């Protein structure tokens, strides 16, 4: 069996998910362990995979070229055959999107939610034009996602169906919209996604929609959102919490102490978190409906 020597863009897998009423998981990565765990879990379960990289995580890992080089190397060395997308998450400028594309990312999000809608349109159009020359898919955003992620702060404004129709006409491949979702952990007083807003945006866009802040939304709400057009679900916090919890248990059991063998070896120290990421991936993709859909 041949394996992919290059990444794919997300256009076809999102269109397929939209038509099939399931959602592809977008899982943010922060290092080699994150990326390797997700690739192995995706390959083992024959599940399409979107690896998301925020601007903060990109800086932490060294830069766009480093990240793209690492992922392409893993695709080859691990003999990955599933479709894998490397996606810039919440690109804050046209320049950042272009830099990611030039480095080899196969998909980008231009997040113009902090701009006026007019400026969002102008800059999204510029990103789309550049991306299409390189066979790269584009995600845009209307409204805003509540909360904070890697310095990106949103007030949680709902998306407008009229704006959805206008921005989709630019040639984007999938659309993020504020529907009451929040980055990070959800507060106790949070009640629900706004399904009326989602329904109206889906009707206007007629294209795969993206649920940001997917960590912590009740399963029944996520499944309902998928029936109303959500075709890509972003997960970050849930992976971080799973990794941290598994690592904490390992250390609290004193397995990292010198007198207990070489448990301090980073390959051993990070392994419980590595396994926890795989377990979380398998659990979430099961109820996203994307498991086995590669």
Catalytic residues: 89
Q: Check: CB of residue 196 under 8 Å from CB of residue 159.
A: no
Q: Rounded to an integer, what distance in angstroms lies between the CA atom of residue 223 and that of residue 228?
A: 9
CA dist 243 and 294 (Å) reads 26
Q: Is the dihedral of CA 88, 89, 94, 96 positive or negative?
A: negative
Partners of 110 in beta bridges:
91
Residues in Cβ contact with 244 at an 8 Å cutoff, skipping those fewer than 6 apart: 273
Torsion sign across C-alpha atoms 121, 122, 123, 128:
positive
CB 52 within 8 A of CB 85: no
| Tokens linked to 149 | 């992620």
Helix H, strand E, coil C: the string for 225-263 is: HHHCCEEEEEECHHHHHHHHHHHHHHHHCCCCCHHHCCC
Cα separations (Å) of 235 from 42, 50, 103?
15, 10, 24
Who's near 162: CB < 8 A, 6+ residues apart?
A: 204
Beta bridge partners of 87: 52, 107
Name residue 141's beta-bridge partners.
176
Which segments within the chain are labelled E, that is strand?
Answer: 24-28, 49-54, 84-91, 107-110, 137-142, 147-149, 152-154, 174-177, 209-211, 230-235
């Amino acid at each position: 069996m041949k394996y992919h020597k290059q990444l794919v863009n997300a256009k076809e897998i999102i269109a397929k998910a939209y038509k099939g009423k399931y959602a592809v998981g977008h899982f943010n990565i922060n290092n080699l362990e994150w990326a390797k765990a997700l690739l192995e879990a995706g390959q083992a379960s024959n599940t399409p995979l979107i690896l998301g990289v925020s601007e903060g995580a990109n800086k932490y890992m060294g830069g766009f070229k480093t990240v793209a080089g690492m992922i392409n190397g893993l695709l080859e060395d691990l003999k990955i055959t599933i479709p894998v997308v490397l996606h810039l998450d919440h690109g804050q400028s046209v320049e950042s999107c272009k830099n990611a594309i030039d480095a080899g990312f196969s998909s980008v999000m231009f997040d113009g939610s902090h701009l006026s809608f007019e400026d969002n349109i102008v800059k999204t159009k510029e990103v789309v034009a550049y991306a299409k020359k390189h066979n790269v898919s584009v995600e845009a955003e209307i409204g805003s996602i509540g909360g904070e992620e890697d310095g990106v702060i949103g007030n949680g404004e709902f998306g407008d169906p009229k704006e959805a129709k206008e921005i989709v006409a630019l040639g984007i491949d999938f659309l993020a919209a504020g529907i009451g979702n929040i980055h990070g952990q959800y507060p106790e007083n949070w009640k629900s996604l706004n399904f009326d807003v989602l329904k109206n945006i889906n009707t206007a866009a007629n294209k795969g929609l993206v649920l940001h802040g997917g960590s912590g939304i009740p399963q029944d709400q996520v499944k309902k959102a998928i029936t109303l057009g959500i075709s890509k679900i972003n997960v970050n916090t849930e992976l971080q919490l799973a990794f941290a919890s598994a690592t904490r248990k390992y250390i609290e059991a004193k397995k990292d102490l010198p007198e207990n063998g070489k448990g301090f070896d980073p390959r051993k120290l990070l392994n419980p978190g590595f396994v926890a990421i795989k377990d979380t991936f398998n659990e979430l993709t099961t109820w996203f409906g994307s498991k086995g859909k590669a």
